[in-house]
Amino acid sequence: MNNLTYLKLLFVGLILSILVAVASFSLVKFFENKTLGLIYQNTLDTELNWLDVSVDGTKVIAHGIAPDESSRYVAIAIISSIINPKRLVDEIIVKKQIIPLEHRYFLEFSRDDSYITAIGFVPSIEYSDDLILRLESIIENAKVTNLLDSSTFQLNSAWYETVDFAIQSMKALPNSKITITNNEISVFALSAGVEDKIRIQNKLQDLDPGHFKLNLQIKAPRSLIQPFNLALTKNSNRTYLSKCSASDELSKALILDAVAKLGVEELGECKVGIGAPSENWSQAAIISINYVKNFENALLKLENNVIDIVVSENTGGLNLKESIGVLKKQLPSEFIVNATIEAVSKNDRATNDDFIANLNTDGVVQMKGFLPDQNSRIAVTSYARSIFGLESVRSSVGLNDELPKNLSMKVLAGLEVLGALHDGILIVKDNKIYLEGQSANPEINEIATDMLSKKLASNILPTLNLKYDESLLPKPKGPNPQECVLEINNIIKTYGIEFAPGEIVLQKSSSETLDRIAEVMQNCYIFPMEIGGHTDSQGRKSLNLSISQARAEAVMDSLLSYDILTGNLVAKGFGESTPIADNKTVEGRNRNRRIEFTLINSNN
């Protein structure tokens, strides 16, 4: 091919390329114009006059300022129905909505011991300065943070008197927050207990000027009770309550009211705290108390969700099986009922010349029957208290002057043997002494015989039915309490207990640590220990204190899920107050954020 031919072909190729480019450009412009036409056609009769659309190659660009988000959505939806949504570029701007806000008045004071914060609005800068001076006078060396701003509120004398009341309240409440809004003042504070809570509420109500609605939120901390229990003994002579637990003051009042209806004169103490196995615990307790009304002699025990009822053979014609069936239907489904009939033929033999002492498994002795004179009764009661303890002796012994004077010597000898038993019964009648019970000593019969032979005449033959029970033997001595605490803290240092930053929920990475602590606690739960939560110094002091308390409680709750008895454990948050390293370094702060077990003894 010569050069002339080559140049001709090159020229023809160039002309064809130009023609193809022009044709392609014309084709693109055609489709762009067609696309724009379709879009304008579909938006012409709508309220989209603000919309502007342009085409750049395959891209369709939507412009304009939409009056609201709804209008932008309509525009995008119409364009997407005409073209492939992937080709659409949304550059629509939504006009900002300027909504006039209702001006709401707000003023808040918070106090954490000597740290006080004031935030909100006051009428003027001068009033703000005066208010800060008054807050600084609440406590010596007060540290007041001033976050107040002035406003144009129209305030009257009622507002100023309410602020005065807030400052008075703050002075009496070292851990509190007081908020004043348009028509309400709210006081949030902690009290030392229920009685202190009532005292604080009464004092604040007396101080309140009454201009604004007063909202009092005074909380009294409650201790952990484990196990949650109730024990009631009812017999023909006396009914008494030896144990009682309740989750709040209302539940306590309802339980004691039900007990009082059984004729109990001395109601005793009913502890209020957390740890109830069910929100229906007080309801179950009241139903069970009402059930034992049907029996002359009954023992009722509730421990967590298990109810044990022991009644005498004298059920007054009541079918125990049927009545227990009715009881189970009345109780919440999560409670388990164990009911038994106890043979009381020995008790039923009591006449006007019998003396009976019954020692139960809780170490409480119930004495009834008769003695010849007042001196004998005083001597027997005093001797019983010396053996079993002052609080563990219940006596309803009467007098019968026809009984022999030496009866009291037989009773005293029998009580000495009863004191060597785990539980049992003593019956003294004429020249007969009957003793029945169980002991952890395999030689209990020999020991009892020796005790009685030293105190009784040879013509008095006691009847003994004493049994050795190996299960009553004291459990092997556990580890040293200091060793328990040391081992637990070593586990924590080795494996770690972790929480997310600023959170109070244990992370899954702590599971192995808790498994190992629970294993140690199987033998160490008997020792009183404190679970201490600690933080570094970053953040507010009051917030750190709350977080550390919640984290300590989270650890104790986790141990409870392992069926560890936590009655000897106390969760306490220390916040940033007890650092073990320098809070100015990352490493120091990491060491200060910790959970630490401490042995509780008479010194701390």
**pLDDT tens sequence across 112-124:** 888 898 888 888 8
pLDDT value at residue 369: 84
Whole domain around residue 282: which residue ranges? 231-327
CB 332 within 8 Å of CB 280: yes
Q: Is residue 521 part of a domain?
A: yes
Question: What local confidence, expressed as pLDDT, does residue 185 receive?
Answer: 92
Q: Could you give the percent of the chain with pLDDT greater than 90?
A: 11
116 and 36 within one domain: no
pLDDT tens-digit profile of 281-337?
899 999 999 988 878 778 888 888 889 887 765 555 556 677 888 888 899 988 988
Pairwise CA distance, residues 96 & 529, whole Å: 59
The predicted pLDDT at position 55 comes to 75
* Type and span of the H or E element at 76: helix 69-82
Instruction: Answer with the residue of higher pLDDT: 286 or 454.
Output: 286
275 and 294 assigned to the same domain: yes
Name the more confident of 153 and 6.
153
- For residue 266, is it within any domain? yes
Question: What is the CATH classification number for the domain harbouring 68?
Answer: 3.30.750
Residue 529 confidence (pLDDT) = 92
In the Cβ-directed half-sphere of 263, how many Cα atoms lie within 13 Å? 10
More confident residue, 118 or 94: 118
Q: What band does 536 get if pLDDT is binned at 50, 70 and 90?
A: confident
User: Across residues 448-460, what is the average pLDDT?
Assistant: 75
User: Is residue 165's pLDDT more than 90?
Assistant: yes
In a domain, 284, yes or no: yes
Q: Residue 182: give its domain's CATH number.
A: 3.40.1520.20
Domain boundary among 298, 327, 356: 327
Which residue among 73, 94, 115 closes a domain?
94
Considering 327, 356, 389, which residue would you say is the last residue of a domain? 327
Single pTM value for the model = 0.33
Q: What integer best gives the mean pLDDT of the chain?
A: 80
Q: Which residue has the higher pLDDT, 500 or 113?
A: 113
* pLDDT band (50, 70, 90) for residue 3: low
Please count the structural domains in the chain.
5
Average pLDDT over residues 360-386: 88
Radius of gyration of the chain, Cα coordinates, nearest whole angstrom: 41
In order of 310, 386, 405, the CA distances from 392 in angstroms are: 20, 10, 26
Q: Model confidence over 8-51: pLDDT tens digits?
A: 556 555 665 655 444 444 544 555 566 666 666 666 655 677 77
Model confidence at 177: pLDDT above 70 = yes
Q: Are residues 468 and 350 in the same domain?
A: yes
pLDDT at residue 516, as a whole number: 92
Q: Has residue 23 been placed in a domain?
A: yes
Measured at the CA of 592, the angle between CA 589 and CA 595, to 5 degrees, comes to 140
Q: Is residue 442 included in any domain, yes or no?
A: yes
Q: How far lies 485's CA from each of 396, 472, 479, 577, 599, in Å?
A: 47, 28, 10, 21, 6
